[in-house]
Structure 1
Amino acid sequence: MPASLTDLVQVASEELRLSTTPDYPQALNGLQLTNGSNQVTRIVAAVDACLPVVRAAVDCKSDLLIVHHGLFWSGAQLITGSLYEKLKLAMEHNLAIYSAHIPLDVHPTLGNNACLAAALNLGETEPFFSWKGIQLGVRASVDLTRDELLARVIAATGATAHLCPGGPERIRSVGIITGGAGSEIFAMAETGVDTFITGEGPHWSYTAAEELGLNVIYGGHYATETFGVKALSTWLSERYDLPWEFVDHPTGL
């Protein structure tokens, strides 16, 4: 039986605390594009609301696309070019698009951070790293070598990971912020963790980590952020008895 799009969006947004979780000003979390039927029969999850993903969602005959990186990031935009193509294609095929950025990073069970930590089998975690009044990441106490943790990251993400061996070879404390948090190297070193897992960072973050005595594993921006949309889609699928699938469109970054 189809689910109500209005109801599903409300439930998802309440679970993710969209109204109270801070984000970048242009993130526009929530339902970014409605569909004409106000019904959901099939969910597609993806990291990015890019044109190939929208095409794939249409091919899957989905009426709801859930993404981490939505359609809009730069304020008011001209509806031309690829944005026009995406909106036109989605509207012609009754495809709604729902986006959740920081709320889907920090959720305690469905979030990218929590799900990556679970996939790495790090044991109990706790929120940490203050940002705009929330805790942006998770941390865990471990007893692993750098190579052991690197191998776990590669296995969990299915992607290449890059290690900066700036800290101790034996790891005792790991901090995780998925995506593009490599620019937070200096603040991360002040938290006391000896190893930081993120997706990507600027060039200077590597040498800064060496000088700060911090291990960093760059697991890929895309690869570290596939977990949340999968977890949210699974949760909604179970709640509404809807089929769902993941569209993998890796950037390699």
Structure 2
Amino acid sequence: MADLGAICQFLEQSLKTSEIADYSGAVNGLQLENPGPVTKVAAAVDASLPVIEKAIAAGADLMLVHHGLFWQGAQPMTGANYRKIKAAMDAGMAIYSSHLPLDVHPEWGNNVGLARAMGLADWQPFMDWKGMAMGLRAEVDWSRDELVERVKNAVGARVHHCPGGPERIGSVGIVTGGAGSQVADAAAAGVEAFVTGEGPHWSYPLAEELGINLVYGGHYATETFGVKALAEELARTFQLEWEFVDHPTGL
């Protein structure tokens, strides 16, 4: 068993939450308290009603997520919003969310997790956003087909590829999640291939025009790495059980 306050302090310090800018809907940190103590952590990508119900069924009293409860801003406590909050509170399950602080973490982050799974090495910071590197880049010597196969194997799902750049690739940039609208930034940074989760329709023809290979590995699939790594670290540090609650969106 572990104290929720001690866990939150560990997460805040380790993820440097207060130092990292994020979108307003992220609301990083403890989003729902419980009376404690914590015995089991459920790691998940989204704090949706079906995921919360799965975490409760798994016996978790802390759910660690990447996309928290407030992405749509302030909402009335009615309907599904009421049901998921009530279910978590009735079960005594706390909810902690970490978005960009977890994406960019040098050890447990989504970017690092995907880079490792793809077999990249010696990566460097990539793509600035508000004074922070959003992703990673690495030098490679891969064919386009090898790049696509490596992403596919890393995420364990189908990927979508725009072969807009050279057939032989010397550099790859990674930003997990929904960074497809930043394909122009990736091209400007000089990489020959850009790997992310998803993006708007216009990113495909733009990638062709800019001469860059674009690979979409799935928003959900590219963001499972961080919560798993962080939950495993919590389990090791605080002697807790942990479980990954898988609820893919296919996007």
Say yes or no: TM over 0.5: yes
Which of 182, 193, 196 is 1:195 aligned to? 193
Q: What CA distance in whole angstroms lies between the structure 2 residues aligned with 1:75 and 1:59?
A: 27
Unaligned runs of 5+ in 2: none
Aligned with 2:228 (options 225, 230, 234)? 230
Identity level (%): 58
Cα deviation, residue 27, structure 1: 1.1
Question: How far is the alpha carbon of 1:75 from its aligned partner?
Answer: 3.0
1:149 is displaced (CA, Å) by 1.3
Q: Secondary structure at the match of 2:137?
A: strand
Distance in 1 (alpha carbons) for counterparts of 2:30 and 2:97: 6
Normalised by the length of structure 2, the TM-score is: 0.99
SS of the counterpart of 1:19?
helix
| Structural mapping, 1:242-253, within 5 Å | 242-253=240-251
- Distance in 2, Cα, partners of 1:51 & 1:180: 22
Q: d(CA) in 2 for partners of 1:86 and 1:121?
A: 38
Query: 1:227: how far off?
Result: 0.3
For 2:31 and 2:216, how far apart are their aligned partners in 1?
Answer: 30
Distance (Å, rounded) in 1 between the aligned partners of 2:230 and 2:12: 11
Cα distance per residue 1:77-122 (max 9 Å; x no partner) = 2111111001000000010000000111111111100110011111
Q: Deviations over 1:46-90 (max 9, x none)?
A: 000011110011101110000000001233221111110010000
Q: CA deviation at 1:14?
A: 0.9
Cα separation, 2, equivalents of 1:195 and 1:235: 31
List alignment gaps of at least 5 residues for structure 1.
Answer: none
Matched to 2:25, the amino acid is Q
Structure 1 segment 1-253 matched on structure 2, within 5 A: 2-36=1-35, 38-253=36-251
Taking structure 1 as the reference length, the TM-score comes to 0.98
Pairwise CA distance, 1:123: 1.1
Please tell me the residue identity of whatever aligns with 1:246: F
Q: Secondary structure at the match of 2:19?
A: coil
